[in-house]
Amino acid sequence: MAETARPTHPLTTDEAWAFTAERASATTFFFDFDGVLSPVTEDPDASQPVPEVLGVLERLAESVARVAIVSARPVSFLRSRFETLGNVDLHGLYGLEVWHDGQVVTEPAALDFVPTMADLADSARAELPAEILVEFKRLSVALHYRTAPDHARTVERWAHEQAERLGLRIQHGRMVVELKPPVDQDKGMVITEGVRNAGCAWYFGDDMSDVKAFDALRAREAVDPAFFGMAVAVANPETGAEVSSAADLTLESPHAVAAFLTEGLRRF
């Protein structure tokens, strides 16, 4: 039987799943963690994938070529949440760390900044309001103001001053500002590399950093008429409108993501 022609955007969910099921052996599914597989929490350390996620990711990994999580979280954190999943690749810190086949590979250019980030975290705790949660990630520092939104401008100003002083880069997110090394690495670059040999790929994201991943799928479609990419946004009141406008489909929550995948797997 002839394969279904690549669907044209905009498209229906049925068209997307039909094309994916036919090309399962050449398909990769990419997921952000916070806001996609787990609800966003006031305390980042408290985040857990919704209960349905582990089982559905395991089944998905058995059905397609590859499943990967691409997150701002360190690989160590992701491993603690997905340690039972042996066939899921983990890209931490926007791809500066990668867990694949039982090993962690760290971008060498970022390692020199570990002492800088440790000192920066100490400075943030000493200089910023006590309500700001400072998350030290070894290769980056995230400044969370979710519980103190009135301090957003203070955090933004301080972060920009430190970035200029230390030659760092800034990544904005949902009620968070992150300082990271001046290394060319982001989610879009992870996806660009990850789909190089794929025939089909899906990406699920909820934040502005995920738009670069959506763009990477579009770029691959533009140069490869046989490739199909599906960008899925997870709605939220903070970045939802901007992210959803860049996606093919919007889901309401991490629970909806798990239900959507469960339903889709019935096509395989």
Residue from 38, 40, 92 nearest 69 by CA? 92
List, in order, residues 6 or more apart from 129 with CB less than 8 Å away: 148, 151, 154
Q: Where are the alpha helices (DSSP H) in 84-133?
A: 108-111, 114-127
Quick one: which H or E segment has residue 135?
Answer: strand 133-136
Report helix, strand or coil for 210. Answer: helix
Q: Which two tokens stand for residue 143?
A: 């400044």
d(CA 38, CA 34): 5
Residue that is written with structure tokens 């502005």 in the block? 208
Quick one: which H or E segment has residue 201?
Answer: strand 200-205
d(CA 243, CA 110): 28
| CB-CB contact of 166 with 116 (8 Å) | yes
Cα separations (Å) of 118 from 96, 111, 121, 144? 17, 12, 5, 16
| CB-CB contact of 90 with 78 (8 Å) | yes
d(CA 234, CA 214): 13
Among candidate residues 14, 32, 45, 119, the one labeled active-site is: 32
Query: Which residues are registered as beta bridge partners of 175?
Result: none
List, in order, residues 6 or more apart from 158 with CB less than 8 Å away: 124, 127, 128, 143
89 assigned to active site: no
Write out the catalytic residue numbers: 32
